[in-house]
Structure 1
Amino acid sequence: MTNLIELLRDNPLVAVIVGAEVAFWVFIALGLSARYLLLKKKLGAALLICVPLIDVVMLVATVIDLRSGGSADITHGLAATYLGFSVAFGHSMIRWADVRFAHRFAGGPAPVKPPKYGAEKVKREWREWLKALLAWAIACGIMGILVAIFGMNEQTRVFWEWPWGWIPRLTIVLGIWFVVGPLWVLLSPPRQPATSER
């Protein structure tokens, strides 16, 4: 616990990232509670609209930290990656929570289980990978902008240096996701649901 407190004290951007993740789920919980428990749809919508503002705070905090003389490190790459995945997957995560909240508290339909085979499974894998591609593009774009502002130097090496910079690592992860996701499902033999013998 002491080490965590020291880490947050010594690197405020880590505290911002942790706070952003907590705030993401808190605003979702508050928004859905207002919508379904208090029956205040406008209040619920206003609280859910605050979720993207968390990303803006993260971006501003990252730029301020670098402009105030902070050296780019793993934390800034993590912040850019968080922003990319938050923008790309945030809406679907809110929708995921909304369906379950509505089912639990407002008599909504039960959540639909993801498909395990067939064309729908292929379609889902492509959709998720395309979201990952969007997250990659946003994260790399943010890091590219930071490199353009501060130059390709020792300060920004953590973003672009091969093979351990953030951009190369994210590219490798995206490639692996493609192989084990849509490509694997596309090339796998089609499966049919098991039928029980009578």
Structure 2
Amino acid sequence: MIVTLIIACEIGFWVLLAVGLALRYLARMPRLGAAVLLLEPLLEVVLLVVTTIDLRNGAEPDWKHGLAAMYIGFTVGYGHYTIKRIDGWFAHRFAGGPPPVGPPKYGMARARHEGRLWLRTVVAGAVAAVLLQIAIWYVGDAGTTDSLLAWQFNAARVVGIHGVIALTYALWPKKPPVNPDSVRVERPSSVGEKS
């Protein structure tokens, strides 16, 4: 049931996002569109409540509960960012807004962007770890919480791997490609030619 609810929350996220943006830009009802977009966090609250009820009713803590915590963490870390990016694209595409500014592609600007994304991953991992720890305390039986502990390790591993990837952008910044039109090829001068 938890996995089905996670899938339903993900589908609900995109449906609410589409409806909210359509109301905001296509139907010219910005307040109603914003109200629909504000319903997004309720999906995670429902998932959290159902997961808690499932554990309270004696369900064995397993990977489904860990996945629910990771999903909620990801939504907290990246939900607003995702909505903001898609809102910018939708405003440009359907409401004549300015084209959305994409992330920088090169140099230290790209490294800073990747660092900010990594901080979102840190938030997502921390939220997941805290929710998992609360579930471990709630269940209380050390023998049955091994799965939840493993998911805490998975959250830390995701944060660590993303941190290493983000660090590579700072250590080895990507350079822009060389434009062949801007490169001036100098012709070697002959001995008798005037410069």
Calculate the TM-score normalised by the size of structure 1.
0.88
Letter of the structure 1 residue corresponding to residue 77 of structure 2: A
Give the whole-Å Cα distance in 2 for the aligned partners of 1:130 and 1:98: 22
Letter of the structure 1 residue corresponding to residue 169 of structure 2: V
Give the whole-Å Cα distance in 1 for the aligned partners of 2:174 and 2:120: 24
CA drift of 1:119 comes to: 2.1
> Relative to structure 2, which stretch is displaced further, 16-25 or 172-181?
172-181
CA drift of 1:109 comes to: 1.3
Give the whole-Å Cα distance in 2 for the aligned partners of 1:18 and 1:189: 37
CA drift of 1:190 comes to: 5.7
Give the whole-Å Cα distance in 2 for the aligned partners of 1:46 and 1:176: 36
Deviations 1:75-112 (A, max 9, x none): 00000000000011000110111011111110111122
Cα-Cα RMSD: 1.3
- Select the residue among 20, 25, 39 that pairs with 2:9: 20
The secondary structure found in structure 2 opposite 1:86 is helix
* Ranges in structure 2 where 5+ consecutive residues have no aligned partner: 183-195
Give the whole-Å Cα distance in 2 for the aligned partners of 1:14 and 1:82: 11
> Relative to structure 2, which stretch is displaced further, 114-123 or 141-150?
114-123
1:97 corresponds to which residue? 86
Identity %, equivalent residues = 43
For residues 1-198 of structure 1, the aligned pairs below 5 Å read: 12-160=1-149, 165-181=150-166, 183-189=167-173, 191-197=175-181
Give the whole-Å Cα distance in 1 for the aligned partners of 2:85 and 2:146: 37
Give the whole-Å Cα distance in 1 for the aligned partners of 2:28 and 2:137: 47
* Ranges in structure 1 where 5+ consecutive residues have no aligned partner: 1-11
| More RCO (CA 8 Å, sep 6+) | 2
Larger Rg: 2
Give the whole-Å Cα distance in 2 for the aligned partners of 1:49 and 1:101: 17
CA drift of 1:194 comes to: 2.3
Calculate the TM-score normalised by the size of structure 2.
0.89
Give the whole-Å Cα distance in 2 for the aligned partners of 1:174 and 1:50: 28
2:190 corresponds to which residue? none
